[in-house]
Amino acid sequence: MWKRLLVVSAVSAAMSSMAMAAPLTVGFSQVGSESGWRAAETSVAKEEAAKRGITLKIADGQQKQENQIKAIRSYISQRVDYIVFSPIVEDGWETVLQEAKEADIPVIVMDRNVSCDPSLYTAWVGSDFTEEGRNAARWLEEDLKGKKFDQKETVHIVVLRGTSNASATLGRTKGFAEIAKTHPNWEILDSDDADFTTAKGREVMEKYLQKYKDIDVVVSQNDDMTFGAIEAIRAAGKTTGTGGDITLISFDGTRSALEKVKSGVINVDIECNPLQGTYIQEIINRLGDGEPVDKINYVEEKVYTQKNVLSVLGDRVY
């Protein structure tokens, strides 16, 4: 899992000479500002750069790949020292990453994945989204033990998916389904894109509530959609969470959602750690010192329920 690929010595030599000169400039092409999680990721990237006196240029892609590509091209023409980007989707990056490679500018991919040749980027930092999906299903397996659903009655499940073709959406969907299919009594009634936003999460949940009279579990692939789902479920006169009508599984682990885990409104929150900025600065330091870096760098993540949420809520920065 941990592939250690040596960075070409020419790049590290160039970096170390630059490290002695003017402060580094990093161009960051961000997906957008669609969720609380995304806002946290951006602010941590800013803080980490400021700590190290790095000039960080940030371009908001506003949920469009073409905007992200334009920003990367602009960073190439500005001759930044590093390019960092969180790809909104996995495909369509080959050309612009080839241009960055030809310009000899190291690219670090963060958060989501790209499907292109790994030689086109220096390192990737992010989450194992499929494992996040599996963790959601593992939690549900435990939660159902001893209840009427345990291997007998049908568990009716609906899924609120994130933006289509985002690796977070693809991985969480795949990981949950991988375990769900081992349970003949788990029935996924519906699974639809709700774009990681509260408004769309509410809209799709309203549609589900009109269409299905027996929903037992909602799997919502980020906290913002979960907040919309809660609004829709309450408007339908039902309750969520511990002891509620509908079990609510969320992803991201933002502070405002963890408060709802603490109060029992959300049953479980699968953390997606947005603090990649810290890992990325470490990679830039190592490259500047001519040291090798790992190609794949997973951030640490946990699963939060009422049992352990108090241990992190106190000093949660996002």
> Would you give the DSSP letter of residue 100?
H
- Residue 26 within binding range of ligand GZL, rule CB under 6 A: no
Q: How far apart are CA 119 and CA 19, in angstroms?
A: 24
- Residue 156 within binding range of ligand GZL, rule CB under 6 A: no
From residue 83 to residue 112, what is the string marking binding to ligand GZL with x (rule CB under 6 A)? Answer: ----------------------------xx
- Residues 68/13, Cβ–Cβ less than 8 Å: no
- Residue 161 within binding range of ligand GZL, rule CB under 6 A: no
Binding-site member from 93, 176, 196, 227 for ligand GZL (CB under 6 A): 196
CB atoms within 10 A of CB 115: 13
Degrees (nearest 5) of the Cα angle 133, 109, 111?
30
Interacting residues of 210 by C-beta distance below 8 A, sequence separation 6+: none
Binding-site member from 15, 44, 120, 168 for ligand GZL (CB under 6 A): 168
- Residue 252 within binding range of ligand GZL, rule CB under 6 A: yes
CB of 88 to ligand GZL, least distance (A): 9
> Would you give the DSSP letter of residue 89?
S
- Residue 30 within binding range of ligand GZL, rule CB under 6 A: no
Name residue 192's beta-bridge partners.
160
- Residue 176 within binding range of ligand GZL, rule CB under 6 A: no
CB of 37 to ligand GZL, least distance (A): 3
Q: How far apart are CA 196 and CA 161, in angstroms?
A: 7
The stretch among 33-41, 60-68, 99-107, 238-246 that binds ligand GZL (CB under 6 A) is 33-41
# residues near ligand GZL by CB under 6 A: 14
CB of 224 to ligand GZL, least distance (A): 6
Binding-site member from 222, 240, 247, 267 for ligand GZL (CB under 6 A): 222
The stretch among 32-40, 96-104, 173-181, 186-194 that binds ligand GZL (CB under 6 A) is 32-40
- Residue 271 within binding range of ligand GZL, rule CB under 6 A: no
CB of 317 to ligand GZL, least distance (A): 16
Query: What are the backbone dihedrals phi and psi of residue 278, each rounded to the nearest 5 degrees, phi first?
Result: -65, -45
Residues in the chain, overall count: 318
Q: Which is nearer to ligand GZL, 7 or 125 (CB)?
A: 125
Q: How far apart are CA 151 and CA 138, in angstroms?
A: 14
Q: How far apart are CA 10 and CA 5, in angstroms?
A: 14
Q: Measured between alpha carbons, how far is residue 198 from residues 112, 161, 195, 230, 274 in Å?
A: 21, 12, 9, 10, 19
- Residue 37 within binding range of ligand GZL, rule CB under 6 A: yes
- Residues 35/221, Cβ–Cβ less than 8 Å: no
Give me the residues that bind ligand GZL (CB under 6 A), please: 34-35, 37-38, 111-112, 127, 166, 168, 196, 222, 251-252, 272
